[in-house]
Amino acid sequence: MTDAAQRVEETTIPEYLALKGEPVEFRALVRQVTYAAKRVAAELRTAGLEGMLGATGETNVQGEHVQRLDDYANRTFVNNLLRSPAISDLVSEEMPEGLHLAHQDRGGYALLFDPIDGSSNLNVDMAVGSIFSVRHASDVLAAGHTQIAAGYVLYGPACVCVLAMPQNGVNVFTLDPSIGEFMFTRGPVRMPERGTTYGCNEANEPGWSPEVREFVHWLRGPSGHSTRYSGALVGDFHRILMEGGVYLYPADARHPQGKLRLLYEGAPLAFIAKIAGGRATSESEDILDILPSQIHQRVPLVVGSNEELERFLPSSRRNHRAH
Ligand code: AHM
Ligand code: MG
């Protein structure tokens, strides 16, 4: 191994970002995000022992039952992100309105996040995640290709942070619990051109469009793909990022706009996929081209490897704008 490779292998996220020349303010912001994620990871490990599982009895702005851990994770992210002077705006799945921190010393970053993705997995000890998108505060409702960076944390057998930056690619850091630091483990990641698995909720099939149905029939039939679906987007996407394939939550009769949220689920994962060499569509346009009209907007999402996406997109829609 060369000296340079050795240096990268042994780096924490802050060291890695410094080594790669990322701006100080961005590094400070990532430090607060990862600090919050470590707190959430620790809480997830012991929640069952402390009576922290179960619902709060409240419903969020999406009309979904809020779990105690959703609430804990949201408070933990907000409290830590408020400590970063670089951040002036916060948007969270668990808050009906965005939080604007009007103070002249505050920097111009906005952080849009889903504190716990895959909440239905919480009470059965399966993997969940946190997703985040970094934007200029003036770009909260701009198209997804204006994102500055995006990432997620997967709370699985290991706690893994994936960070996508236009200049430095998609990199994977794994939490070393013995020292409480995310260490560089892999990157820059290239999503394989084609994979062997797909993930979607097949119970929604009766409500899908004929195009989606035909595509999934191809995946489970002639193409030879296998199904992998955990109910947590972060985990299912992570497999696709590493091994190729496709994840889809298309529009259906019950979810005419799709189920997932554009700003803190669809757009950041599309941004990560794009930097890793994959792509993402809403069925009719590139996810990164969509102009949001409101912060909790939903979007149909089909994301993954180029070959699977090529097969899905009718020729009239294949020429998504190149950024
Ligand atoms: P959440 O952020 O409220 O947990 O919702 C998002 C989740 C995704 O993680 C997952 O892929 C999807 O919703 C699962 O939906 P379904 O249970 O309809 O298959
Ligand atoms: Mg959530």
Residue-level pLDDT at 107: 78
**Structure tokens belonging to residue 280:** 């993402």
pLDDT tier at 8 (50, 70, 90 boundaries)?
low
Question: Dihedrals φ, ψ of 206, to 5°?
Answer: -55, -25
Which atom of ligand 1 lies closest to the CA of 234?
9
Tell me how far the alpha carbon of residue 163 lies from the centroid of ligand 1, in angstroms: 21
Ligand 1 pocket residue status of 174, Cβ below 6 Å: no
Ligand nearest to the CA of 236: 1
Residues in contact with 135: Cβ distance below 8 Å, sequence separation at least 6, in sequence order: 109, 110, 112, 142, 146, 147, 148
Report helix, strand or coil for 59.
strand
Nearest CA to ligand 1 atom 7: 118
Q: Residues 107-116: pLDDT tens digits?
A: 799 999 999 9
- Residues 309, 276: contact at Cβ < 8 Å? no
**What's the mean pLDDT in 111-138?**
96
Report helix, strand or coil for 165.
strand
Multiple choice CATH, 197-322, 3.30.465.10, 3.40.190.80, 3.40.50.360, 3.40.50.970: 3.40.190.80
- Asked whether this chain's domains 3-186 and 197-322 adopt the same fold, the reply is no
Which of 256, 311, 316, 313 has the alpha carbon at shortest distance from 287? 313
Which of 53, 50, 83, 47 has the alpha carbon at shortest distance from 65? 53
Q: How many other C-beta atoms are found inside a 10 Å radius of the C-beta of residue 180?
A: 12
Q: Residues 90-105: pLDDT tens digits?
A: 999 999 999 998 766 6
Residue-level pLDDT at 186: 96
Q: Residues 203-237: pLDDT tens digits?
A: 999 999 999 999 999 999 999 999 999 999 999 99
Locate the domains of the chain by residue range: 3-186, 197-322
Q: Which fold has domain 3-186?
A: Fructose-1,6-Bisphosphatase; Chain A, domain 1 (3.30.540)
Ligand nearest to the CA of 298: 1
Ligand 1 pocket residue status of 70, Cβ below 6 Å: no
Burial class (CB in 10 A: 0-12, 13-18, 19+), 174: middle
Q: Residues 253-292: pLDDT tens digits?
A: 999 999 999 999 999 999 999 999 999 999 999 999 999 9
Which atom of ligand 1 lies closest to the CA of 119?
4
Residue-level pLDDT at 323: 44
Residue-level pLDDT at 101: 84
Ligand 1 pocket residue status of 64, Cβ below 6 Å: yes
Ligand nearest to the CA of 116: 2
pLDDT tier at 1 (50, 70, 90 boundaries)?
low
Instruction: Report percent pLDDT > 90 for the chain.
Output: 83
Ligand 1 pocket residue status of 233, Cβ below 6 Å: yes
Q: Cis peptide before 115, with omega less than 30 degrees from 0?
A: no
C-alpha to C-alpha distance for 267 and 110, rounded to whole angstroms: 14
